[in-house]
């Protein structure tokens, strides 16, 4: 094989590998991305499938134990039925009743089981518009 032909083969192989890599990255990025669902959208959740849930912690629902915490979450606007949640992992300091949270986990027997160390608490912004103005 002459030198020119070897260069063409190498270029073809390199471009093919780059194309396969780019296709794989695009496929996994679209496949892995999922928007957060509210508790009312998880009533027909597939058992064992991982979901990202966001909602508001129901007042009076937080119960702490040695193996974690239990609480209930409603949709962000307070509507819908409360979804019971169990979580074991690091609990952020701003976690309180009435706060918005984002949590990754699975639904098992009507209970959202949070994955360890995925609980994120959204803090109210001091710049957000106050409701009673």
Domain of 93: which CATH number?
Answer: 2.40.50.140
Q: What is the pLDDT of residue 30?
A: 64
- Judge if 29 and 45 occupy the same domain: no
Answer whether 97's CB lies under 8 Å from 59's CB.
Answer: yes
Q: What are the helix (H) ranges across the chain? A: 3-32
- Examine the domain organization and report whether 22 and 76 are in the same domain: no
Burial class (CB in 10 A: 0-12, 13-18, 19+), 77: exposed
**CA 79 – CA 13 distance, rounded (Å):** 56
Q: What is the mean pLDDT of each run of 10 residues along the chain (133 residues)?
A: 88 94 80 74 86 93 93 90 93 91 92 93 63 49
**CA-CA distance, 60 to 39, in Å (whole number)?**
18
Are 97 and 55 found together in one domain?
yes
Identify the pLDDT of residue 118. 92
Question: Does 130 fall in a domain?
Answer: no
Predicted confidence at residue 27, as pLDDT, reads: 76
Task: State pTM to two decimals.
Answer: 0.68
46, 70: one domain: yes
**Three-state secondary-structure class, residue 25:** helix
Nearest-CA neighbor of 55 among 34, 71, 78, 25?
Answer: 78
The boundaries of the domain holding residue 10 are 1-33
pLDDT at 76: 87
Same domain for 61 and 90? yes
For the record, the structure tokens of 83 come out as 């979804």
Q: How many domains does the chain have?
A: 2
What is the structure's pLDDT at 36? 82
Residue 133 lies in a domain: no
Do 73 and 20 sit in the same domain of this protein?
no
3 state SS of 22: helix
């Amino acid at each position: 094989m002459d030198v020119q032909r070897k260069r063409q083969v190498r270029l073809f192989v390199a471009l093919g590998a780059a194309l396969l890599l780019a296709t794989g990255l695009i496929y996994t990025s679209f496949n892995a991305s999922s928007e957060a669902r509210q508790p009312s959208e998880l009533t027909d959740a597939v058992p064992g499938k991982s979901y990202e849930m966001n909602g508001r912690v129901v007042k009076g629902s937080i119960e702490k134990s040695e193996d974690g915490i239990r609480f209930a979450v409603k949709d962000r606007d307070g509507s819908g039925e409360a979804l019971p949640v169990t979580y074991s992992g690091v609990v952020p300091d701003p976690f309180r009743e009435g706060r918005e949270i984002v949590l990754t986990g699975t639904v098992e027997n009507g209970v959202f089981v949070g994955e360890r160390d995925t609980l994120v608490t959204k803090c109210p912004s001091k710049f957000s518009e106050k409701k009673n103005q």
